[in-house]
Amino acid sequence: MTNRILLVNGPNLNLLGTREPAVYGHETLADVEALVAKTAAARGFEVRAVQSNHEGVLIDAIHAARTDCAGIVINPGGLTHTSVVLRDALSGVALPVAEIHISDVHAREEFRHHSYIHDVAVVHVIGEGVAGYASAVNQLADAITQS
């Protein structure tokens, strides 16, 4: 078994820390990546991180993960609610997936209530802020080591 986790952050997450801080907080994407790396290392995993505003880049990273990653932590951003192809990529690589959302998407606009990722993820962390990434990593590590 490989000891690597792929961290995927979707569109607009590069703006963390400056984009709508009342919703997303003041932590930056670099803070998220550092938290995930530290949490994963404590569980014996390394992390490869990717963020893109381009769906195809995210899909290519997910496809590549099937050969050298044990699982995927993903915050798909707005693609959560629109992207069947992102869902199909996650399903197609047959790796355990943790879906993370910084805000409580169920307390926001109606269109954010549906997730195309939900049914392919074994872990769901919603509305815990940036700290939710650590929870997602720990829950995913549990799922990986128990399988």
∠ CA(132), CA(143), CA(112), 5° rounding? 40
Q: Of these residues, 63, 101, 106, 133, which one is catalytic? A: 101
52 is in an annotated binding site: no
Would you say 88 is a known binding-site residue? yes
CA dist., res. 26 & res. 23, Å (int)? 9
Residue 54 appears among annotated catalytic residues: no
**Is 124 an active-site residue?**
no
Tell me: is residue 48 an annotated ligand-binding position. no
Which residues are paired to 98 by β-bridges?
Answer: 73, 123
54 in a labelled binding site: no
Contacts of residue 129, defined as CB under 8 A and 6 or more positions apart, other chains included, come to: 25, 27, 102
Q: Which of 24, 26, 54, 63 is catalytic?
A: 24
- Catalytic positions: 24, 101
Q: Which residues are annotated as a binding site?
A: 75, 81, 88, 102-103, 112
Q: Which residues are annotated as a binding site for substrate?
A: 75, 81, 88, 102-103, 112
